[in-house]
Amino acid sequence: MTSVPAPTPAIFRQYLVLTKPRVTQLAVFCAVIGMFLASPGLPDMGKVAAGTVGIWLLAAAAFAVNCLIEQEIDARMLRTARRGTARGTISNLQVIILSGLLGGLGMLVLYTLVNPLTMWLTFATFVGYAIIYTIILKPLTPQNIVIGGLSGAMPPALGWATIANAVPAEAWVLVLIIFIWTPPHFWALALYRNNDYAKSGLPMLPVTHGKQFTRLHILLYSFVLFAATLLPYVVRMSGLVYLVAAIILSGLFISYAWRLYKEYSDELSRKLFRFSILYLALLFGALLVDHWVAFI
């Protein structure tokens, strides 16, 4: 019996997938929260709109470059094998043109409609993710997601810079939270996709050090994350509304991590990964709610 090849998605859909829209949405959401927290009242909505578009475009460009560089790795992994770059339905030149157009337009928007600081910070984030993390760190060390996590943690600083034209200590507190959140988030994915990563040849922590070691690190990071999420209250950039939300959400994160550590299952690892996305969105949403409660 001959197997029927999977249908090729429409070309627009293939291009869209290269920009990793779900990941981009979460990053831009955190940037927008940074924009609103940077202003005691309602920020300049023109800058909010321009900053959102510019950051979105550069993030999409970085993800497209990531797919271009990792096309051979993606082809070996079930999760990514249907990307246009992995299937060969989108050429390298097409990806370069796509990334150049998105990135160039994003930089133009940020420079002309926001401010040069935001443009350069966002461009540095692009280089950090697409080049330093993807080319150097990811294939080199199982601590890739820890060291390279700074690029993915930058959106709140980019958002803050959009409105304030500066990046004060409060913005870096938010960056620190995402920086610490990133390893357990990705390690949960790597656990239940362990076979995929083993085929890819990437030195992800579950592949190089085993699942038990990775589960322990997820648990330890969850405690550090709990402490980090208290910092906005400690430095008085947020109040009780955020504090209560942070304690509840971080408590749930630790609960998932503890259960995963004590008795592993792919389903539980998948649940932790999914919850970690919701966790970050709700945590940053609580920061905004708390900010507006204090303002009102």
User: What is the per-residue pLDDT across 228-284, written as a single tens digit (0 to 9) for each?
Assistant: 999 999 999 999 999 999 999 999 999 999 999 999 999 999 999 999 999 999 999
Phi/psi at 168 (5° precision) = -75, 180
Copy the structure tokens of residue 64: 């497209």
Query: Are residues 267 and 134 located together in one domain of the fold?
Result: no
Q: How many residues in total does the chain contain?
A: 296
- pLDDT mean over 273-296: 90
Query: Are residues 60 and 206 located together in one domain of the fold?
Result: no
User: Does 1 map to a domain?
Assistant: no
Query: Are residues 52 and 188 located together in one domain of the fold?
Result: no
User: Does 3 map to a domain?
Assistant: no
Question: Which of 206, 208, 254 lies closest to 227 in space, CA to CA?
Answer: 254
Taking the C-alpha atoms of residue 78 and residue 100, their distance in angstroms, rounded to an integer, is 28
Structural domain range at position 296: 168-296
Tens of pLDDT, residue by residue over 185-231, are 999 999 999 888 888 888 888 899 999 999 999 999 999 999 999 99
Residue 12 has pLDDT above 70, yes or no: yes
| Maximal CA-CA distance, the chain | 68
Taking the C-alpha atoms of residue 223 and residue 245, their distance in angstroms, rounded to an integer, is 16
User: Does 141 map to a domain?
Assistant: yes
Query: Are residues 30 and 125 located together in one domain of the fold?
Result: yes
Query: Are residues 74 and 42 located together in one domain of the fold?
Result: yes
- pLDDT mean over 156-163: 97
Query: Are residues 182 and 214 located together in one domain of the fold?
Result: yes
Tens of pLDDT, residue by residue over 106-130, are 999 999 999 999 999 999 999 988 8
Copy the structure tokens of residue 225: 């994350």
User: Does 114 map to a domain?
Assistant: yes
Query: Are residues 119 and 215 located together in one domain of the fold?
Result: no
Boundary of a domain, candidates 122, 143, 167? 167
- pLDDT mean over 1-15: 62
- pLDDT mean over 59-72: 90
Taking the C-alpha atoms of residue 1 and residue 102, their distance in angstroms, rounded to an integer, is 44
Contacts of 6 (CB under 8 A, 6+ apart): 82
User: Does 146 map to a domain?
Assistant: yes
Contacts by residues 76-79 (CB-CB < 8 Å, ≥ 24 positions apart):
76/199, 76/200, 76/201, 77/193, 77/196, 77/197, 77/199, 77/200, 78/196, 79/193, 79/196
Tens of pLDDT, residue by residue over 139-153, are 888 888 887 788 889
Q: Alpha helix locations (H) across the chain?
A: 11-18, 21-37, 45-69, 71-75, 84-87, 92-113, 116-127, 144-147, 149-153, 155-164, 169-192, 194-200, 205-209, 211-229, 231-234, 240-262, 266-295
Query: Are residues 243 and 123 located together in one domain of the fold?
Result: no
Boundary of a domain, candidates 124, 144, 167? 167
Query: Are residues 32 and 162 located together in one domain of the fold?
Result: yes
Question: Do 191 and 215 contact (CB within 8 A), yes or no?
Answer: yes
User: Does 140 map to a domain?
Assistant: yes
- Residue 160 CA: distances (Å) to CA of 31, 37, 53, 55: 7, 7, 15, 12
Taking the C-alpha atoms of residue 170 and residue 287, their distance in angstroms, rounded to an integer, is 12
Query: Are residues 17 and 74 located together in one domain of the fold?
Result: yes
Question: Do 184 and 174 contact (CB within 8 A), yes or no?
Answer: no
Query: Are residues 236 and 255 located together in one domain of the fold?
Result: yes
Query: Are residues 212 and 188 located together in one domain of the fold?
Result: yes
CATH number at residue 30: 1.10.357.140
Residue 43 has pLDDT above 50, yes or no: yes
pLDDT band at 80 (very low <50, low <70, confident <90, very high): confident
Taking the C-alpha atoms of residue 98 and residue 90, their distance in angstroms, rounded to an integer, is 11
- The dihedral sign for the CA sequence 175, 176, 179, 183: negative
pLDDT (0 to 100) of residue 2: 43
Boundary of a domain, candidates 150, 167, 184? 167
Which position has the token pair 């080319």? 135
pLDDT (0 to 100) of residue 267: 95
Give the total number of structural domains in the chain: 2
User: Does 154 map to a domain?
Assistant: yes
